Chain A
């Protein structure tokens, strides 16, 4: 009964490919997020959805597109992957304005 789950846990792909990461939460939260953690462990928010509506869209390349089919799911699609996209991507959810619950992360390696 994992609260916030992500698939896949590891993703290795070549430059130029398109890939998706899926996130699901079973906490009944209204808000979901995507974060990127770089090689120096710095965590930065990318997107946030509240009840399927985009509310935070940080300065992220257009190659990244979030999709929220319902409030329990927030997927991240990445087009034309680049070496610099290699990172750990975390999904999180919250019931504002409370704390955020994080998924286990997806380690993306672009070769």
Chain B
């Protein structure tokens, strides 16, 4: 069965600083990978996805992620964080014939002014 690990429960960065959120997955075949963001009291919004092809994927709001098969990782990055990026970030993997989506436990991002 697939699984996702987000090692950082909470990260604090200053506005304008760069950001990297870590995600490691476990799945036997080529996974479909996603990053979602959840602002307080809101639903989940898709930031980006990886299915195949170029391992560096661009998403919305200036985010990008890089798929590294050798490290089973799909880390999310942003070169310059804005205060509005403060939210909970979830990495997720889809695997299996029923396309079950498995989430990591999330990383809470706090942005200091």
Residue numbers of A with Cβ under 8 A of B are 4, 31, 33, 40-45, 48, 55-56, 90, 92, 94, 96-105
Interface residues of B in 56-113 (CB under 8 A from A): 88, 90, 94, 98-103, 105-106, 108
- Tell yes or no: B34 within 8 A of A by CB: yes
Q: Is the interface of A mostly helix, strand, loop or mixed?
A: strand
A55 → B minimal CB distance (Å): 5
Question: How many B residues are at the interface, by size bracket?
Answer: 20 to 34
B99 contacts A94, C-beta separation under 8 Å? yes
Give the CA-CA distance A40 to B101 in the complex, in Å. 18
B56 → A minimal CB distance (Å): 18
In the assembled complex, which residues on chain A have CB atoms less than 8 Å from the CB atom of B102?
A: 45
A103 contacts B43, C-beta separation under 8 Å? yes
Q: Is the interface of B mostly helix, strand, loop or mixed?
A: strand
Give the CA-CA distance A98 to B88 in the complex, in Å. 22
In the assembled complex, which residues on chain B have CB atoms less than 8 Å from the CB atom of A105?
A: 42-43
Given contacts A40-B105, A43-B44, 18 further A-B contacts (CB under 8 A): A31-B99, A33-B101, A41-B38, A43-B106, A44-B103, A48-B98, A48-B100, A56-B100, A92-B44, A97-B32, A97-B99, A98-B49, A99-B46, A100-B46, A101-B46, A102-B43, A104-B43, A105-B42
Q: Per-position contact with A for B27-58: 1 when CB-CB < 8 Å, else 0?
A: 00000101010100011111001010000000
Give the CA-CA distance A90 to B41 in the complex, in Å. 12
Give the CA-CA distance A48 to B99 in the complex, in Å. 10
Give the CA-CA distance A23 to B36 in the complex, in Å. 20
In the assembled complex, which residues on chain A have CB atoms less than 8 Å from the CB atom of B106?
A: 41-43
Residue from the list B32, B38, B43, B98 in contact with A55, Cβ < 8 A: B98
Residue of A nearest to B49 (CB): A99
Question: 12 A-B Cβ contacts within 8 A?
Answer: A31-B99, A41-B88, A41-B106, A41-B108, A42-B106, A45-B100, A56-B100, A101-B46, A102-B43, A102-B44, A104-B42, A105-B43
